[in-house]
A = this chain, B = another copy of it.
């Protein structure tokens, strides 16, 4: 179906989407230009017509994946509810846990980490997420929902790390349960407990 009547922008689009899938499944090192072309149903010429090569195409793919992840997270973090509820919604949002994080997994890719250009969208996305969460924790402290001694930036890093590490535990065990258990543990530590609330009155 792809072989007839394709416009140039269709081809560019399919190359990016195929690269996104392959980066998620096999990582940068494990994704050959040949595999991308096969999945996109495109010829080598069309790839070099639109992109300078694999790094350039991967950059477009990583940027788009990072934007999507940011939009999804913002949808939950900017949603209704108290700070704790929004953090809970973020931690419990539906995820394809066994596939891992399409952004975070790239940090285990030596060629992504070795390239400032490819690493930048990964770093910026996780950084944005930490800042956003830190703001919510600070908001929760102001409302008395979190203990005043907690540091927003540190808790935010713990939240993002629990999610990223949750993928590791889930994939190691072959089941999403381990992800959920780690999230439950973090939520039990963050939960405004009855006796703490009373202490603060």
Q: A interface vs B, CB < 8 Å?
A: 25-27, 29-30, 100-101, 104-105, 107-110, 113, 119, 122-123, 126-127, 130, 147, 149-151, 153-169, 171-174, 178-179, 181-186, 188-190, 193, 195-196, 199
Contacts and interface: CB of A to CB of B under 8 A. Distances in A.
11 contacts: A30-B30, A104-B165, A123-B172, A130-B169, A151-B188, A158-B186, A158-B189, A161-B161, A161-B179, A164-B165, A199-B199
Contacts of A183: 158
A19 B88 CA distance: 41
A169 B27 contact: no
Given A104-B168, A119-B174, A161-B165, A154 B185 contact: yes
A30 B27 CA distance: 9
This chain: copies in complex:
2
A162 B178 CA distance: 13
